[in-house]
Amino acid sequence: MKRLLRVLSPIARTLILLLVVGAGTIALVRFAPGFFSDERELDTKYADAARSELDEQGMRDESLKDILLQDGQSWLNGDLGQSRQYRVPVVQLLPSRIATSGLLLGRGLLFGWLLTICMALPASVARRGGQLWGLPFTLLLATPTAAMATACILSGMGGPVLVLTLLVASRDFKFLSRILRGAWDAPHLVHGRAQGLGLSALLRVHILPNVAQQVRSLGTLSVVTALAALIPVEVIFNVPGVGQLAWTAVMNRDMPVLAVVSVLLAAVVALAGSISTNKPVLEAA
């Protein structure tokens, strides 16, 4: 029983957290100025009676409790609510956008990690010039995502994948090279190297198993970093993904879409956290 509770309690905690995130998003948007404005009110083709009906409908929708109940019901129905800006069920908007963003995120993380490993390995074993290896990443670290994306567009070089790659690599390089340097300089490894152990044996048997946990935590952080960068990258490069959907939903007070996107992003963060901590909690965020 105790073991079952130990397994279920973090899962329940994560589910409650996702509910709080969804409800919090709805409450935030509900009290935003201009939430009840309807573009049809400005349209002259609608008669005064129709416009007053729109007003009344707005007043009826005012209660936060009703909004939460209505949204909960549409979640149970499986259509996730009706988008205010696109006038279609939210569930129809998601699949293609999730695929686009997932692919972009996956590529950015993959290339970012490849670049980080390729640069961090030599930097961590180099006796001199470690700071020089890190200089490009330090400069990239000081560049906001939006500035990086804008510079890419202006110069006509690179795209969203390059921006995410550079962003992930710049965030992870310092930590990974520090982790690897710590492992490389460990007394037992210095002894092993003095005994003539080969580099591949050192990496495979001694270094990688020791740093695996830290690298997994770093992996979680890079997922969260890339996820946050997805919004400006998709908006600036005009990629029709979840980030762009989130941005248009924020600008148009599209509450059903925002609630779904918030829960989706929180779920991805929770999942990423569970990979590094072996339990589904959001500690790693």
Interacting residues with other proteins (CB under 8 A): 13, 17-18, 20-21, 24-25, 28-29, 31-33, 138-139, 141-147, 149-151, 153-154, 224, 227-232, 235-236, 246-247, 250-251, 253, 258, 261-262, 265-266, 269-270, 281-283, 285
Specify the residue, 125 or 267, whose C-beta has the smaller distance to other proteins: 267
> For the CA atoms of 236, 239, 242, 247, what is the dihedral angle to 10 degrees?
30
Residue 17 Cβ vs other proteins, minimum distance, rounded to whole Å: 6
Specify the residue, 122 or 144, whose C-beta has the smaller distance to other proteins: 144
Residue 228 Cβ vs other proteins, minimum distance, rounded to whole Å: 4
Specify the residue, 153 or 189, whose C-beta has the smaller distance to other proteins: 153
Residue 145 Cβ vs other proteins, minimum distance, rounded to whole Å: 6
Beta-carbon neighbour count of residue 122 at 10 Å?
13
Nearest Cα to 81, choosing from 37, 29, 14?
A: 29
Specify the residue, 180 or 235, whose C-beta has the smaller distance to other proteins: 235
* Cα separation, 221 vs 227, whole angstroms: 10
Residue whose structure tokens are 């020089």: 132
Report residue 52: phi and psi, to 5°. -70, -30
Specify the residue, 18 or 215, whose C-beta has the smaller distance to other proteins: 18
Residue 115 Cβ vs other proteins, minimum distance, rounded to whole Å: 19
Residue whose structure tokens are 């994560």: 14
**Cα separations (Å) of 115 from 28, 171, 263?**
39, 12, 31
Beta-carbon neighbour count of residue 113 at 10 Å?
20
Per the CB < 8 A criterion, the answer to whether 237 and 187 are in contact is: no
Specify the residue, 140 or 203, whose C-beta has the smaller distance to other proteins: 140
Position 72, amino acid: G
Specify the residue, 106 or 209, whose C-beta has the smaller distance to other proteins: 106
Residue 184 Cβ vs other proteins, minimum distance, rounded to whole Å: 20
Burial class from Cβ neighbours inside 10 Å (0-12, 13-18, 19+) for residue 127 reads exposed
**How many residues comprise the chain?**
285
Residue 90 Cβ vs other proteins, minimum distance, rounded to whole Å: 16
Residue 226 Cβ vs other proteins, minimum distance, rounded to whole Å: 9
Beta-carbon neighbour count of residue 203 at 10 Å?
16
